[in-house]
């Protein structure tokens, strides 16, 4: 019995700080660099759940090949969900913008894609490195990179 109580107390001590800090987080910073549609979709799904199920703020920065998601007229590859339905990462991104996610492209993306800000979808802006760095260093936000 004493061993069981000790194990339970130790378990609570180890798990409680993680559980409390996750609940206290203001939101999520998501950096997406991958061109892989499944990877992009997972980033979008976790972002969507953070907003819908946990009422958290989400900031997304698209860099490198993932920046293509931000462009008007660019297609993205559908990904099959567990329920069999297909959706593209770009469709998920548009839903996230409607839900209030802040979406930006890396400032290096547009000039290296021979584009300017007029090529971006509505609601997407160019990131400012000092602002992104400040957000990444903010202990009230969790950071994910895909």
Render pLDDT for 69-127 as a digit per residue (tens, 0 to 9): 999 999 999 999 899 999 999 999 999 999 999 999 999 999 999 999 999 999 999 99
Tell me, what's the pLDDT at 47?
97
Tell me, what's the pLDDT at 7?
54
Mean pLDDT of the chain: 89
Name the residue among 74, 82, 70, 72 with its Cα closest to residue 32: 70
User: Tens digits of per-residue pLDDT, 15-32?
Assistant: 545 545 556 899 999 999
To 10 degrees, the CA torsion angle through 19, 89, 121, 106?
60
Name the residue among 40, 31, 37 with its Cα closest to residue 61: 31
The span from the CA of 76 to the CA of 108, in Å, is 21
Coil, strand or helix at 71: strand
The helix (run of H) or strand (run of E) holding residue 98 is helix 89-98
Tell me, what's the pLDDT at 8?
47
- Non-local (6+) Cβ contacts of 143 within 8 A are 28, 29, 30, 31, 136
User: Tens digits of per-residue pLDDT, 118-130?
Assistant: 999 999 999 999 9
Is residue 32 within 8 A of residue 60, CB to CB? The reply is yes
To 10 degrees, the CA torsion angle through 104, 43, 98, 131?
-30
Q: Has residue 134 got a pLDDT over 70?
A: yes
Q: Domains in the chain, start-ordered, CATH in brackets? A: 26-145 (3.40.1260.10)
């Amino acid at each position: 019995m004493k061993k069981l109580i000790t194990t339970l107390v130790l378990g609570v001590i180890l798990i409680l700080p993680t559980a409390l800090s996750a609940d206290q987080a203001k939101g999520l910073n998501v950096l997406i660099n991958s061109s892989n549609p499944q990877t992009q979709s997972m980033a979008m799904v976790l972002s969507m759940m953070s907003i819908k199920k946990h009422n958290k703020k989400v900031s997304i920065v698209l860099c490198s090949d993932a920046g293509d998601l931000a462009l008007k007229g660019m297609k993205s590859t559908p990904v099959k969900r567990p329920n069999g339905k297909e959706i593209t990462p770009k469709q998920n991104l548009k839903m996230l913008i409607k839900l209030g996610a802040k979406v930006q492209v890396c400032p290096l993306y547009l000039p290296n894609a021979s584009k300017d800000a007029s090529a971006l979808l509505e609601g997407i802006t160019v990131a400012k490195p000092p602002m992104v760095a400040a957000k990444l260093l903010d202990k009230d936000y969790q950071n994910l990179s895909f």
